[in-house]
Amino acid sequence: MAEGRRVNSVSAWGQVVALAILAGVAVYVGYHPSDSIAVEQGDGLWFSLMGIAIATVVAATRPSPAIALDRLDGLAIGLAGWMMLAALVTTGGFSFYGRPPIGSLRVATNEAWLWVAGAAILVAGRRLFAQVEVQRAVLAIGVIISMGLAVHGLHQQFVSLPANRAAYQQDPDAVVRMAGMDAAAGTAERMRFENRLFDGGPSATFALANSFAAVLLVGIAGAAGVIRFRFSQMPMWRRWIWGAVVLIGVAAMIAARSRSATLAMVIAIGWLWLSSSGWLSAASSRAALQRRVALKGLAAIAVVAMVGGACVAVFGNREWIEAAPASLAFRFQYWRTTLQMVADHPLWGAGPGNFQSLYERYRESTATEQISDPHNFFFETLASGGWVAAAILVAMVVVGIRLSLRKPPSVGNAAEDGTASASVQPVAVGAAVGFVLVWMIGFASRSVPDLDASLVVVPFALALAWFAWPDAMRLSRSAVHTIAVSGLLGLMVHLSVAGGWTVPGVAVWIWILAAMTTGTIGRADLGSESSWIRRWALPVGCVLLMVAMYVMSLRPVGAEKRWLATAELAQATGQIGRTRVSLEQAAAADGWAVTPRLWLADFYLWKMILSDEADGDRDETRRRWAEMLEAAKVRSGENPSVYRQIGVAQLHLYQRFGRPEDLQAAEKTFADVVRWSPANQWAMAQMAEIKRAVGDSQASREFADQAKRLSELGGNLERALYLQSIYVVRPIGREVQGGPVRARADQLLGLVP
């Protein structure tokens, strides 16, 4: 008896800790969602560690009811394991792979850990959400986070963005410098910056509006679900407030200008109404009535959608509507290119995180964008792990749909009076701690959230938490299940044509909703009476996984970032010696990283650029510079963007001193760039100028013609050669000590009409 009480106590504490961590993480990634590129650079590692930690706690304490692993768990774990293998195999982590590395080992493993975290949260969440009270609390947290982001987005739409646009019109160069961009006036880079500034919508804390819109779907589905299931039990004033909450989410969605998310929102709410009407499963005597109710609700949704669409068409951005077919056509280009890529790499794909570098090799000549993911969750999985990963994902979807269509069991439907049970307290406490950590870590790292927006967002979120919690805690299990299915459906529809599959701020809600809708409630724990080895194999495995992650990724990446930050500070304060030492420490801290070696190469480059020809240690500096460039090449794999950066550095040194070996090195580097970026008009134009400088007029004309042809494809003005700023390839001297000299490509290549 005492032993049973002790086990139950440990189980209860395990649930408390795991739920608190999960709620805190969900709040934290709302403020620091990390886009896919940031994940590749290691910004998502802490998130991945927390995901594995949640699974470790659940595996070690087995919160009640304890459930054995099933097919969905096995598939999720298998997908995560395959992604880690793909990361190691495609980047040289395993020597038996026959082909040369096609990407960066550091980038690949950084993203692979996110897939591991996804499996961990899904498997753990299916146990943690067994109690309906927990599901209600987590759903309430989702609504609060999402609607807080909605208010943040609306603040950007009506306050921040107009102020930024006004500042740009007064001093464009100052705004560009503040954004940390190298975009001179009259270049394609400046045109892209202006397009984003004047035509783009709000993105709240996210890098992209589509990711922001994805999280809005969670809150809109949750708020609409409360209205759907609690409408008759609420007083009129609460109905009006919930209606206003939904309208805030819809307004933010329209402001974000995400066509796919807007469509997904209509589908999610339509499914919410349809599936909750009961006519699909109604008895024959009631079927007609249930169908009439459902059809009336769907008709109302259709009317609202049409009216809203008409308002957008009349008062909204005309280009937003007219560009829809072209936007979809771009998606088809991305997906065709992904299929071509995987045709050459069917087993492992490009590996996690290395899609962008390999995509350039296959990009269609008419495609104008250099994308970081295929804008589709299936194709992103396919590109990251080949056909095996794609097959596992399809199996997961099939199994997950079958599980989600089961009728939710009636157990756990107590506590309908809105009283918060002990099981929901860790959710609230964890969310509060996560919110406090946002500001504490923000002040410590000098990356606090937008203070102006927070003055509006924080009071709104706190008021919404006080208002929404009682209604959310009175939802039945079947109501929560229906809302979760609707939110997950909306997310997956949106991510069928948009990116965000590997953005922690988006992905965490996919995994949470998937865990809610596929819960393992009611199944026996087949291992409850099993041997000690089977009992502890999973928690020990999770602990070893956390140790491996810390040693392989978290420690070296964290140390590298700290030393790079120290180097930036030293450089800003003029401490040249400390800058060099800090960069060397950063490179030593992470043997797989590309960035510190590129920064070190840049340090040595400027030391040579600013020196005189007769400087005594210039040969030694040149040797170390060349070593860093070669080390960066080896660690980047076949990445044209890294090679382009290296080639530009070699051209800059040639402009300063005019040494033939620098020109030859640049020619060799750019030969790889154009080979890996055959649809890049800038690379072709730069190679044409290099070939002219080395005296190969025939090759120069061919590259120039290719650049001109590419610039005219796709109908995109940004590709025009007069907007392509390429580097002059001739000795210039001391003038380049302020920076390399560039000029319009059409003028340098003699292509001015």
* pLDDT > 80? residue 4: no
Tell which wins on pLDDT, 525 or 602.
602
Give CA angle at 79 (76, 80), nearest 5°.
90
The CB-based long-range contact list for 455-462 (8 Å cut-off, 24+ gap) reads 456/151, 456/152, 456/155, 457/148, 457/149, 457/151, 457/152, 457/155, 458/148, 460/147, 460/148, 460/151, 461/144, 461/145, 461/147, 461/148, 461/151
With bands split at pLDDT 50, 70 and 90, how would you rate the model's confidence at 469?
very high
pLDDT, the chain, mean: 85
* pLDDT > 70? residue 617: no
What is the C-alpha separation between 695 and 158, in angstroms, rounded? 56
With bands split at pLDDT 50, 70 and 90, how would you rate the model's confidence at 528?
very low
Q: Which domains does the chain have, with CATH numbers?
A: 11-529 (no CATH), 594-748 (1.25.40.10)
Tell which wins on pLDDT, 14 or 26.
26
Over residues 671-685, the pLDDT tens digits come to 999 999 999 999 999
- pLDDT exceeding 70 applies to what percent of the chain? 85
Of the listed ranges 60-64, 490-494, 534-538, the least confidently predicted one is: 60-64
Over residues 385-398, the pLDDT tens digits come to 999 999 999 999 99
Over residues 148-183, the pLDDT tens digits come to 999 999 999 999 989 888 888 888 888 777 777 777
pLDDT of residue 654: 96
With bands split at pLDDT 50, 70 and 90, how would you rate the model's confidence at 533?
low
Asked whether the beta carbons of 370 and 188 are under 8 A apart, the reply is: no
pLDDT of residue 131: 86
Of the listed ranges 533-537, 592-596, 635-639, the least confidently predicted one is: 533-537
Mean pLDDT within 534-547: 84
What is the C-alpha separation between 258 and 265, in angstroms, rounded? 11
The CB-based long-range contact list for 340-347 (8 Å cut-off, 24+ gap) reads 341/383, 342/382, 342/383, 342/386, 342/387, 345/90, 345/102, 345/386, 346/386, 346/387, 347/386, 347/387, 347/388
* pLDDT > 70? residue 484: yes
- 744 sits in which H/E element: strand 742-744
Plot region of 62 (φ>0 → left; ψ -120 to 50 → alpha; else → beta): left
pLDDT of residue 494: 95
* pLDDT > 50? residue 283: no
Cα of first residue to Cα of last residue in the chain, in angstroms, is 92
